[in-house]
Amino acid sequence: MDKSTVMKNYRFLALMLFAMVAGCVAGWFFPEFGHFIKPAGTVFINMMFCVVVPLVFASISNSVASVRSRKRAGKIMGTTVLTFVVTGAVAAVIMFIVMKLVPPVLEPWTDMATEAIGEHASLADMIVNFFTTDDFVGLLSRSAMLPLIVFSILFGFATNLVGGPDHVIGKFLDGLTEVMMAFVKIITYYAPIAFFALFADLVATYGSSVASAYGRAMVVYYPLCFIYIFTAFPLFAYIGGGRHGIKTMFQHIARPAIMSLGTCSSSATIPTNLREAEDTGIPKDVADMVVPMGATMHMDGSCFSCVLKIAFVLGAMGVDMPWTMLPAVVAVAVLSSVGMSGVPGGGYIGEYIICSIFFPQQIEVAFPILVAIGNLVDPPATMINSAGDYVVCYIVARVTDGKDWLDRAIAARHAK
């Protein structure tokens, strides 16, 4: 991976960050202009509203429908999904605790509207609304993102049962996914202009609180990512690979980590992860299922950032994140990570899910704040997501091939 490749993959991210900074400067020195240009950003938000529902449905349903799984593969898939959920939940709980100890925003942003969260519904109603709507039409609204994810997963399983990717519906989902990703790519070309406008208005409205709060959030997030890599990953490797797991993991994880940092993409790291899995001796069918699924479903780093985003906006609103929110925040972090696509920047899907659940009345203000955090934390988050796919293979291999699978793989490699 040469310098030109790194520059190419980070070019758009750099452009987005430049647009945000330029918008902040414009809003600071010319607040009237910042308010005037806001509609240019609202246009982008509305365009994304129109594409996010079909994109989530197509990408998730196609991913599940395309899995060619039967007996052993079914065991691999079940273990993989369970491991993704558990590690994501662990990451979300860790970040929730950190946010309680070190809040990202110390002073509320003046005039930012507050909203009671979850007080209007009982626990039973929240559980029902988390996973379902009372009508199919309700799934077509951006306010029902989590029920849409659940529906999409089940639709994908149903398609898999009747023929999967070879069925006419499977082919339709594959084509629809390609079209929707191209659609998002077209809209994204407008994003720098939109975020210049959004942040010009944001700073014009809330002033210097914006920059200081983002800086504090990054000081917390970046060290935590590296602490997680050097503590949680060795633990997972030991659980999956036994006494040789930690040493072997550190021998092979560097390339996926560097590749993910250089490309800022989980999907682009798939070939490297598969190559390292083969060199490690991980069973091929395990790696072939875990790594591609992990590119869109294994998002420990994104779970970190999801909790950070929720705590950040709540702090800006002057609302404390109570311990009673822990189950809801962890559930949203884990389930919304399924909707993240393996492309640079995450496709903004997670931000919409967070807004639709926690900040539906403040979405025009909350969305650009969340996307800004997403762009700032994207490189280390992608590194945790992608390198973690390789580590999860250890756990899945232990379940499918026994606790001594790595010992056998090492012995076979030495016998050659």
The count of other CB atoms within 10 Å of the CB of residue 2 is: 8
**Which residues are CB-contacts of 188 (< 8 A; sequence separation ≥ 6)?**
12, 345
224 has pLDDT over 80: yes
CA angle 269, 270, 274 (to 5 degrees): 120
User: How far is C-alpha 368 from the chain's CA centre?
Assistant: 16
Kindly write down the DSSP assignment for every residue of 187-238, as one continuous string. Answer: HHTTHHHHHHHHHHHHHHHHTTHHHHHHHHHHHHHHHHHHHHHHHHHHHHHH
Torsion 56-58-60-61 (CA) sign: positive
Q: Evaluate if residue 2 carries a pLDDT over 90.
A: no
For residues 266 and 260, give the distance between their C-alpha atoms in angstroms, rounded to a whole number.
Answer: 6
- Is-contact 170 163, C-beta < 8 A? yes
The terminus-to-terminus CA distance of the chain in angstroms comes to 30
Task: Specify whether the CB–CB gap between 133 and 151 falls below 8 A.
Answer: no
- pLDDT above 50: residue 343: no
Alpha-carbon distance of 30 to 87, in angstroms, equals 46
- C-alpha pair distances (Å), 102 with each of 70, 227, 305: 46, 16, 14
Say which residue, 66 or 25, is predicted with more confidence: 25
* pLDDT of 377 strictly over 60: yes
Q: What's the token pair of residue 62? A: 């196609």
- Least confident residue range of 59-63, 378-382, 390-394, 404-408: 59-63
- Average pLDDT for 252-261: 80
Q: Is 303's pLDDT higher than 50?
A: yes
| Structure letter (DSSP) for residue 106 | S
Of 31-35, 130-134, 203-207, 260-264, which has the strongest mean pLDDT? 31-35
| Cβ atoms < 10 Å from Cβ of 92 | 25
Which residues are CB-neighbours of 25 under 8 A, at least 6 positions away?
none
User: In this predicted structure, what is the pLDDT of residue 118?
Assistant: 42
pLDDT of residue 94: 93
Position 284 confidence tier, pLDDT thresholds 50, 70, 90: confident
Sign of CA dihedral 210, 89, 59, 131: negative
3-state secondary structure (DSSP) of residue 318 = coil
Measured between alpha carbons, how far is residue 230 from residues 39, 89, 115, 150, 390 in Å?
Answer: 45, 18, 38, 33, 15
Looking at per-residue pLDDT, the higher value among 363 and 5 belongs to 363
- pLDDT per residue over 102-123, tens digit each? 888 777 765 555 444 444 444 4
Does pLDDT of 391 surpass 80?
yes
C-alpha–C-alpha distance, residues 115 and 108, integer Å: 13
Tell whether the model's pLDDT for residue 347 goes beyond 60: no
Structure tokens of 282? 């991980």
Give the whole-angstrom CA distance, residue 359 versus residue 256. 35
Give yes or no for a contact between 169 and 162, defined as CB atoms under 8 angstroms apart: yes
Residue of 375, 392, 371 lying closest to 90 (CA atoms): 392
Q: Mean pLDDT, the chain, as a whole number?
A: 78
Tally the residues of the chain: 416
Among residues 136, 115, 118, the alpha carbon closest in space to that of 126 is found at: 118
Separation CA 257–CA 96 (nearest Å): 25
Lowest average pLDDT, out of 149-153, 176-180, 206-210, 352-356, goes to 206-210
Show the domains of the chain with their CATH numbers.
1-413 (1.10.3860)
Tokens of 360: 């539906």
Q: What is the mean pLDDT of residues 53-80?
A: 73
Mean pLDDT (whole number) for 200-212 = 71
Sign of CA dihedral 170, 339, 140, 183: negative
Token pair recorded at residue 403: 């606790």
